[in-house]
Amino acid sequence: MTTPQSNAQALKDTLQDYNYHYYVMDDPKVPDAEYDRVFRELKTLEQESPELITLDSPTQRVGDKPLNEFSQVAHKVPMLSLDNVFNHDELLAFDKRIKERLERSDELEYVCEPKLDGLAVSLMYEDGLLVQAATRGDGQTFP
């Protein structure tokens, strides 16, 4: 019989392996739908038992360590990821969180685009010229 703690650790280990293959090796191990399923299972478990949340949990960060071959520079603004929304209730909860953070109660207008799988990049221009292109890395530093 598995305990919630051992189940959470197994899910974290699985997601860390998936993250390594996706973010570092650029060779996803599983389809996005499977990753999302495991991620949501861990997130639900952590919401039900907050004592299982750890700083290294995949629910608490984005990406993975970049390859050592790349030089690293700190992002000026952290490059984070939004939670997925799969139903109307989750969309309403997202809207509520945004309004609370913005300290607004009026209606907000959103622009939504389909999610396309691919590389998240940060591009820096100076005087209209591209001076740096980088991946998201771990969200704090990038190669």
Cβ contacts of 8 within 8 Å, gap of 6 or more: 42, 45, 46, 49, 52
Whole domain around residue 98: which residue ranges? Answer: 66-105+118-142
Q: For the chain, what is the domain count?
A: 2
131 shares a domain with 80: yes
Domain-embedded: residue 77? yes
Q: pLDDT band for position 9 (50/70/90)?
A: very high
pLDDT of residue 7: 93
Whole-Å CA distances, 98 to 18, 42, 58, 125: 29, 23, 22, 29
Q: What is the pLDDT of residue 60?
A: 82
Tell me the pLDDT tens digit for each residue of 80-99: 777 778 889 999 999 999 89
CB 38 within 8 A of CB 18: yes
96 in a structural domain: yes
Same structural domain, 123 and 81: yes
User: Quick check: is 30 in a domain?
Assistant: yes
Summarised one tens digit per residue, pLDDT across range 38-70 is: 999 999 999 999 999 888 888 887 666 655 666
In a domain, 58, yes or no: no
Active site residues: 115
Beta bridge partners of 124: 132
